[in-house]
Structure 1
Amino acid sequence: MASLTVRNLKESVKASLRLRAARNQRSLEEEVRIILEQAVEPEASEFGLGSRIHQRFLGLDADQMVLPDRPVVTPESCFAEDC
């Protein structure tokens, strides 16, 4: 892994980065690393729809997602209720 030193950074920028890192529950170093990685990643338009959807939901915890109840639809119930 490489190291990078950034000189002459405004204190206000550093303070904003610290706040952003705290909001995202990350260290300052990790937050800067993520920002840099996102800045140099290929544009989303270079990926297909499936890849973009995967990237969008990558960090979510599926076990904590609340999904609404959905009725069970069978071919028989469809004919009876005019689906």
Structure 2
Amino acid sequence: MKTVKQTDRDELRAEYKLSDFSGGFMRGKYASRLRKSSNIVVLRPEVAEAFPNEEAVNKALLSLIDVAQKTTRLTRRSTGRAKKLRAG
């Protein structure tokens, strides 16, 4: 079995040039894909101070969603059916 001789190509260089890569580079090649696949939100500093971690933010948002859904149900317009039933 032949032994493989290690050369300088097996090690990282201090600097690389664009000409070192035959295909070249494209800046931000995967940026749009990353934006579509992630839900990262940047909070204002004053908001970030109020929440110590991710769990606290999620808990607060879930409770806000719950309150909003309950409030929406309470403020829907009446169909008039209850009024008709009371009138008899």
TM normalised by structure 1 equals 0.32
Q: Which has the higher contact order (CA 8 A, sep 6+)?
A: 1
TM normalised by structure 2 equals 0.30
Q: Which has the higher Rg, Structure 1 or Structure 2?
A: 2
